[in-house]
Copies of this chain bind each other. A is one copy, B any other.
Amino acid sequence: MLSIGKLSGLTGVKVPTIRYYEQIGLLPKPERNEGGQRIYNNTSRERLNFIRHARELGFPLEDIRELLALSDSPDQSCDAIDAIAKRQLAEVEHRLVRLNALYKELERMVAQCTCGTVQTCRVIQVLGDHGLCVADHQKIMSHDIDQ
């Protein structure tokens, strides 16, 4: 008995996003009233909360799709779920390590800027010359540019 707007308010997921989730098949197509507007129940609400929370934890939608499918068969072993969660954990850890390195280098770069002219700007110099980075830069940064 929830309109899409109410559902949005309750879950914190924006209205167009809910429709988008329906479109890509993450949420089942809901009932409609005589006027053709979507009506939801508490089951949809729980499912949407699940999606939202998983998104907050950085799971990609494809993983969430899989998690939802798995959670629909409660008697199976939860190994598959565990694997997805662990994969995500490893992913986040990797990003964390990289981001930390970025942070350090940015910090160093900004700290060295004495704010004279562009010509002598340390930021521009460091950006232009990879050699001015910290020594173990290559190890961490080399082949993947991610955020």
Contact = CB atoms under 8 A, between A and B. Distances in A.
A123 B82 contact: yes
Nearest to A107: B89
For the residues of A in contact with B, the DSSP-based class is helix
B49 A128 contact: yes
A106 B82 contact: no
Interface in A73-90: 73-79, 81-82, 85-86, 88-89
Nearest to A103: B92
Contacts of A58: 102, 106, 147
Contacts of A21: none
Interface residues of A, number: 61
A90 to B, nearest CB: 10
A117 interface: yes
A133 to B, nearest CB: 8
A46 interface: yes
Given A70-B124, A92-B106, A96-B96, 13 more contacts: A50-B128, A53-B128, A53-B130, A55-B145, A58-B102, A70-B118, A74-B119, A76-B117, A78-B118, A79-B115, A81-B118, A82-B115, A92-B99
Interface of A: 12, 46, 49-50, 52-58, 67, 70-71, 73-79, 81-82, 85-86, 88-89, 92-93, 95-96, 99-100, 102-103, 105-107, 109-110, 113, 115-121, 123-124, 126-130, 133, 141-143, 145, 147
